[in-house]
Amino acid sequence: MNAGAPGLEPGKTALLVMDFQRGVVARVPEPGALVARVRDAIASVRAHGGTIGYVRVAFTEADWAAVPAANAIFARVAADRLMHDEDPATAIDDQLAPQPGDIEVRKTRVGAMSTTDLDEQLRRRGITTLVLAGISTSGVVLSTVIEAADRDYQLYILSDGTEDSDAQVRDVLLTKVFPRRAHVIDTAQLSALLEAGLGTR
């Protein structure tokens, strides 16, 4: 947790809720607490006038056909025709459902930006700061941190808004890797940082 993180200017901040899909959340051990924390983070960002962006992974027939056999992660997904766009399991978890005016993108690779127009949508809204929550820490969060940092976003990672199947890898990312590119905070700090940033408008 980064006690020295600067305040968040709400009007320029987006919380990205990444891969919190029914089928993904269902695989997390004891998902209730994680979803509750992210739900509270969403409510806090909304209350302060920030933007919420939802990212999910799902495929159409054309998307499956475009996945090469060399893709170590998605070749099997394509071959077995998994995670179809219309499968209810690929929808955002009901407790975190998007509202009108939110950003929603569908991706076909790990990171939030490489196969979507997310960056363009954020730029149009004047967003310069991203707060990231996602499943998994070593998947969508890692990929998005690297790409968003290279696109010059100011980044915050919600340490307790991420989960991973490998706890050791998650800890290394949060304590050793992410702090080089982002401020690592927890959901309890988020409201205070948004309040602190209100004075910078």
pTM of the model: 0.95
CATH number at residue 171: 3.40.50.850
- Does 3 fall in a domain? no
How many Å apart are CA 140 and CA 15, to the nearest integer? Answer: 14
The pLDDT assigned to 3 comes to: 60
Range of the domain at 34: 10-198
| Burial group, residue 68, by CB count within 10 angstroms (0-12, 13-18, 19+) | exposed
The pLDDT assigned to 84 comes to: 97
Is the confidence at residue 20, as pLDDT, over 80? Answer: yes
pLDDT digits (tens, 9 = 90+) for 122-152: 999 999 999 999 999 999 999 999 999 999 9
The pLDDT assigned to 199 comes to: 59
- Does 1 fall in a domain? no
Number of domains forming the structure of the chain: 1
Task: Characterize the bridge pairing of strands 154-163 and 51-57.
Answer: unpaired
- Does 97 fall in a domain? yes
The pLDDT assigned to 2 comes to: 62
pLDDT digits (tens, 9 = 90+) for 44-66: 999 999 999 999 999 999 999 99
